[in-house]
Amino acid sequence: MLRTVIEGEWVTLPSTLAEIRGALSAEELPLFEAAISEAPLEDLPRVAARWALPPHARGADGELFARLEAGDYTGIVDSDGKPVRP
């Protein structure tokens, strides 16, 4: 189970590619498929995590994702509170 805080509220996110696909709109699904298909293997978790977010939250986290894409995972923890490493 993946959880995150969005706008001050804990939200449970889809935790498999199938669940992400099921949560996407018809317009978003081809964009997701392209992003997953084109992502290097080491980037798949990051790409999937971004698409797991609700649509309104994907854009709001632009700065965070830019930092993660640059390899800076400072302050990022999993659901057990353990630091996440790239």
The predicted-structure confidence for 4-33, as pLDDT tens digits, reads as follows 888 888 999 998 999 999 999 999 999 999
Q: Does some domain include residue 35?
A: yes
Q: What predicted TM-score, i.e. pTM, was given to this entire model?
A: 0.67
Q: Does some domain include residue 24?
A: yes
Q: Does some domain include residue 36?
A: yes
Q: Does some domain include residue 79?
A: no
Q: How many domains does the chain have?
A: 1
Please give the residue that has the higher pLDDT: either 65 or 71.
71
End-to-end Cα, the chain, rounded Å:
19
Range of the domain at 38: 2-69
* Residue 32 host element (H or E): helix 28-38
List all residues 6 or more positions away from 78 whose beta carbon is below 8 Å from its beta carbon: 84
Question: pLDDT averaged over the chain?
Answer: 88
Q: Does some domain include residue 76?
A: no
Q: Does some domain include residue 10?
A: yes
